[in-house]
Amino acid sequence: MVWQKYNGEKIHTPINDAVEEIIKREAHLGNRLKVYIGTDSQVKRGIVEFATVIVFLREHKGGFMFINRDKIFRRIGIKERMLIEVQKSIDVAYQLCPLLDQYHIDLEVHVDINTNPSFESNIALKEAMGYIMGMGFQFRAKPESFASTNCANKMVQ
């Protein structure tokens, strides 16, 4: 997985090392962090583009994010696409969880799934919620899922 910063700069160290470096730097500066992970996707000419983000919010002092982009070169349905988004976010959350626990940093997993049944993405809501909560993570869906709905969304447009 290749991660980068918002400015496009590639992260050359393993993601756990890069996140730990951020945690230590922000703690040294006196900032409390909260971490949000989310994925969004866009279908363009039969190719599904994904963006997964790790959003770091400093308490009352703004934030920043790391981004990973990925593609699938086949057609998939909306439900499968939503569940792949969830899987990508869970994979990252699961990888970072021991580190975040060690430093007592809260984590939320955000999904780009609408809680309103009249929206197409709602078809995957129950499975996504069960999967994320079953893994022990805090869960947020639209309209509260800014990591996926806003941050990751900007990376696939």
Residue 1 has a pLDDT of 80
Instruction: State the pTM of this model.
Output: 0.94
Question: Average of pLDDT values for 130-152?
Answer: 94
Q: How many CB atoms lie within 10 A of CB 128?
A: 24
**Residues forming beta bridges with residue 107, ordered by sequence position:** 35
Domain limits, the chain: 3-155
Nearest Cα residue to 34 out of 6, 1, 3, 65: 65
Alpha helices of 29-156 — where are they, by DSSP H? 78-102, 125-134, 146, 153-155
pLDDT in tens, 13-22: 999 999 999 9
Q: What is the mean pLDDT of the chain?
A: 95
- Classify domain 3-155 by CATH number: 3.30.420
Among 42, 24, 36, CA closest to 155 = 42
